[in-house]
Each structure stands twice: as C-alpha cells, then as structure tokens.
Amino acid sequence: MRWWKAVGLAGAAGVVATGVVIVRAERRRRAYTPDQVREQLHVRFAQASSAGEAVETAAAVPRDGSGSRGRIRRLFRR
C-alpha cells in the first residue's frame, strides 16, 4: 500500500469519527425536555446576574490610590 493511500484512509476515518461525535452530542442535546432547557437557562442567568452585581459593587468601592494606577499618577504629578 502506498503512503498516500494510508493518509487518505486515515483522513476518511477521522471524518467518520468526527461525524459520530457530532451525532452523539446532538442526540444528547435533543434529549432534554423544554422545561429542563428553560430551567438550565434560568440557572445560568441567575449566575451571570449575581456575577455582574458583584463586579458592579466592586467597581463602586472608592479607591484610595494605593494601587498601580495611583502610583503612576503620583509619578506624573512630580
């Protein structure tokens, strides 16, 4: 068998294996009921909202200028 035939067969086997993985994932995804999908989306939204609120409250805390930005400002004031 020539080397290019082996490469071609390996490529075809790779395409088939990829198709199998995609089909399995699609079957798992379609196995969810609409209520399960809705519940999961609500959970993700709640997590994103709580993370966003945490970022907003952290940004609202006044800074005393002791960080790197404060040091740079002090350098340019001189």
> For 1-56, how does the pLDDT look when each residue is reduced to its tens digit (9 = 90+)?
788 888 999 999 999 999 999 999 998 888 888 899 899 999 999 999 887 776 66
Is residue 75 included in any domain, yes or no?
no
Is residue 70 included in any domain, yes or no?
no
Is residue 22 included in any domain, yes or no?
yes
Distance of CA 73 to the CA centre of its chain: 35
Is residue 16 included in any domain, yes or no?
yes
**What single-letter DSSP state applies at residue 61?**
S
Distance of CA 65 to the CA centre of its chain: 33
Is residue 26 included in any domain, yes or no?
yes
Confidence of residue 70 (pLDDT cuts 50, 70, 90): confident
User: Range of 43's domain?
Assistant: 1-47
Is residue 53 included in any domain, yes or no?
no
- How many domains in the chain? 1
Using the CB atoms, write b or e for 59-72: b if 16+ within 10 Å: eeeeeeeeeeeeee
| Listed residue (19, 14, 21) closest to 6, CA to CA | 14
pTM, 2 dp: 0.39
Is residue 61 included in any domain, yes or no?
no
pLDDT at 64 over 90: no
